[in-house]
């Protein structure tokens, strides 16, 4: 899934825009949601487009959490919280989504 980076210069200001077609990822997730996963260990529970992960990190920085780094424990905890929100159901790949991640029910 290719991510495009565009640079926009306006005087002394440079804006970076990141673009990605997320529809193929969402459609693939829908397919995966129809396939039962029998194990509670090692299940594939989400596939999130890179631009969405970057957006979530940028939102944290805008809130003042400027020390959060991509790939840190804090970052993965934030992603896990986001994936528990029904608003982001399209990024989940498990058919039995109940708003919780982890082992068992």
* Structure confidence by residue, pLDDT tens digits, 82-98: 999 999 999 999 876 55
- Other beta carbons within 10 Å of 93: 19
Q: Among 63, 61, 62, 85, which Cα is nearest to 72's?
A: 61
Query: Which residues have C-beta within 8 Å of that of residue 6, sequence separation ≥ 6?
Result: 16, 17, 18, 19
Counted domains in the chain: 1
The verdict on residue 1 lying in a domain is no
The verdict on residue 4 lying in a domain is no
- Other beta carbons within 10 Å of 46: 19
| pLDDT over 90, % of the chain | 74
Which residues of the chain are under the pLDDT cut of 50?
102-105
The verdict on residue 5 lying in a domain is no
The verdict on residue 15 lying in a domain is no
């Amino acid at each position: 899934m290719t991510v495009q980076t565009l640079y926009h210069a306006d005087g002394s200001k440079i804006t970076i825009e990141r673009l990605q077609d997320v529809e193929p990822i969402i459609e693939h997730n829908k397919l995966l949601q129809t396939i039962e996963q029998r194990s509670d260990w090692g299940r594939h529970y989400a596939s999130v487009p890179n631009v969405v992960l970057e957006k979530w990190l940028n939102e944290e920085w805008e809130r003042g959490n400027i020390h959060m780094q991509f790939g840190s424990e804090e970052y993965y905890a934030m992603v896990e919280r986001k994936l528990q929100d029904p608003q982001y159901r399209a990024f989940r790949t498990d058919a039995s989504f109940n708003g919780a991640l982890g082992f068992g029910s």
